[in-house]
A = this chain, B = another copy of it.
């Protein structure tokens, strides 16, 4: 949850004057979004989200993110759509930061997903992968297998203070994944962060996907593996096979998985667990004084990793050849 930058009413008025959105009625910081400052902007006409991109987002990536949202929305995916200002630009500047306005999406995120929610997620994820197929821009995944050793180096000196043997276990996993990571899977635009709080539901129907600021070009099945990690464990850390089966089956009904993707799923799930364990570990060990965001527990993902290490076949996730 976060608002890192406050916006004066004068600065906001000047920024909004470059748009044609109606008169301002309300402007509130939202306690969501770890990377950026988000505000709910209500005008006489509509509701919007105003985002100020803080330093963790590379400004050079913004044309990819905003272009992708526009591309996906044009293909019928329900996601925030960037709003152009009077000069036709979707990217502006406010309080010295890159800033954009997108449409507001109704919906509520599900704190305790059931298999039916995971099924809706699988369908939407496959739809996202299909809708992104002809998106012309590309963005490498800067948080994939090649990046993980360097990420761990940032945490290594104090890693064992977080969990016993964490250094040795992580190094063994890094070595395993370097060898086992599949290189030739079908790829395209993936969301790469489709956690429950980025998926809205209305009356039990999936109503939209948000927060595309980790989107990149990578293996489709890796996106599915991220969702297995994020959606298919209960709060005590126990794997929920019915959720995973609903997710994987619904995905496959829209975009059938090929045999190499199915075979790779356990390795991809290990990689996804390690990726979130590592970024959380680095954040955990580097909470700045006066931090506005409570760091997330890396051990949650260490436990998920340990589960995936016991998985010998994608059938555990409900994937059928």
Contact = CB atoms under 8 A, between A and B. Distances in A.
Interface string A201-221: 111000000000000000000
Contact of A108 (B9, B203, B290): B9
A24 B107 CA distance: 8
Given A3-B1, A8-B112, A29 B26 contact: no
Given A1-B3, A40-B40, A108 B29 contact: no
Give the oligomeric copy count. 2
Closest 3 CB pairs of A and B: A29-B31, A8-B111, A3-B31
Interface in A11-31: 12, 23-31
A40 B40 CA distance: 10
Interface in A32-46: 32, 40, 42
Nearest to A11: B111
A107 B26 contact: yes
Contacts of A30: 28-31
Interface in A81-113: 104, 106-112
A243 B41 CA distance: 29
Contact of A24 (B3, B31, B108): B108
A10 B290 CA distance: 33
A6 interface: yes
A180 interface: no
A2 interface: yes
A187 interface: no
Given A10-B112, A111-B9, A31 B1 contact: yes
